Amino acid sequence: MIIKPMIRSNICINAHPIGCAKETLNQINYVRSQKAKRAIKSVSEGGKGPKTVLVLGCSTGYGLASRISAAFEYGADTIGVSFEKEPTVNKGGTPGWYNNMEFDKEAKAAGLKAVTLNADAFSDECRASVIEEVKKLNSKFDLIIYSLASPVRTDPDTKVLYRSVIKPVGKEYSGAALDMMTGKISFSSAAPAEGDDIPNTVKVMGGEDWERWIKQLSEAGVLAEGCRTVAYSYIGPELSHAIYRDGTIGTAKKDLEARARNIDASLKKIGGAAYVSVNKGLVTRSSAVIPIISLYLGVLFKIMKANGTHEGCIEQMERLFAERLYTGQDNAAGTVPVDSENRIRIDDWELDPKVQAEVDKIMPTVTEENVAQTTDLAGLKHDFLTINGFDVDGVDYNKEVTDMSKIEY
């Protein structure tokens, strides 16, 4: 069959196996090139970087990029967890399924140990499986990446299913929304949170599950001396705070930051630490439907690309590892620069005052007539499609795919 992107309500609902694999390989090759440029020693070469890494939410975005950085720049063995839809011969799986397949293949070829679990990372059963797998490796985790982004979570104790929402708090929020595929601009509104929207979103996107992971791993004795853990967050510009930082999602992220302090205190007993890394805004499945975000990203990307400071997931995570986490001798865990709230700021180039001043100047001038000139519309569209394996260089999208369960170049 010939696979073309199927887009419904600004969401791509299918994936291209070869495109996903090729884009994962592109990220791996980027990290390999950075390893050479930075002269980083892998563990097998005498480096002291991460040796055994757990990545929760390993299949896409920042989680996948983190796993690639740990494995292919530092030579770490990795255990990854994600919850993906498995393909059949005639029916496609989720993008993360194919990304994981390619990662596993490349890791094996590189002589790296990689265990990928397709499981609900919110469950205690998954935690037990991870503990079993790391014991099989006869190792302990020295780095744990928490990069889960799910709209739902079942509480392991009560078995109650909670759903998160993206809503403002207190009053309605309205803003311009840019359709990344067509360049059309519309104005949309989001009703304020009501009922249990806020506590439910905190239950799903806050730090409760992260804290539970660290507690159970610690009790199982699978945390190495000096173990660090990092969870990911986003703050963004003032113009998006009402819908994001000060909205339901932002409230959950503030809970994440508060729990990071609890985790940090517990890990200090073994010489470890916990951090929240505030990352750059990027195109995600939700970006296209949140008012103002897609338009902001279009303007931001154009400015940052002109400045030579634009980064995608892999560039962000490679810089996080090399310039924040592992800055000691022979890539040992170094002193981590943090802000006043003990957060790592890898969004520093995005929130540079000069960049934001330029964003503020351009945003009010964008119209449907000039959107291709005032924003990076082509870049947004490319990123949107690439998430699902489309618009990837070197892939023949007119070639028949005979088996959706395989990656056949």
**Residue 62 marked in a binding site:** yes
**Per-residue pLDDT tens digits for 278-317:** 999 999 876 666 778 999 999 999 999 999 999 999 999 9
Nearest to 277 by CA among 217, 195, 337, 187: 337
- Which CATH superfamily hosts domain 7-169+196-289+311-353? NAD(P)-binding Rossmann-like Domain (3.40.50.720)
Query: What is d(CA 228, CA 327) in angstroms, rounded to the nearest whole number?
Result: 14
**Per-residue pLDDT tens digits for 388-407:** 999 999 999 999 999 999 99
**Residue 83 marked in a binding site:** yes
**Residue 154 marked in a binding site:** no
Is the CB of residue 341 less than 8 Å from the CB of residue 257? yes
pTM of the predicted model as reported, rounded to 2 decimal places: 0.97
Query: What is d(CA 39, CA 333) in angstroms, rounded to the nearest whole number?
Result: 16
Choosing from 30, 244, 275, 326, the catalytic residue is 244
Is 244 assigned a catalytic role?
yes
Polymer length in residues for the chain: 409
Helix (H) or strand (E) holding 200: helix 197-205
Is the CB of residue 359 less than 8 Å from the CB of residue 237? yes
Residue range 171-179: mean pLDDT, rounded? 91
pLDDT class for 177, splitting at 50, 70, 90? confident
**Residue 297 marked in a binding site:** no
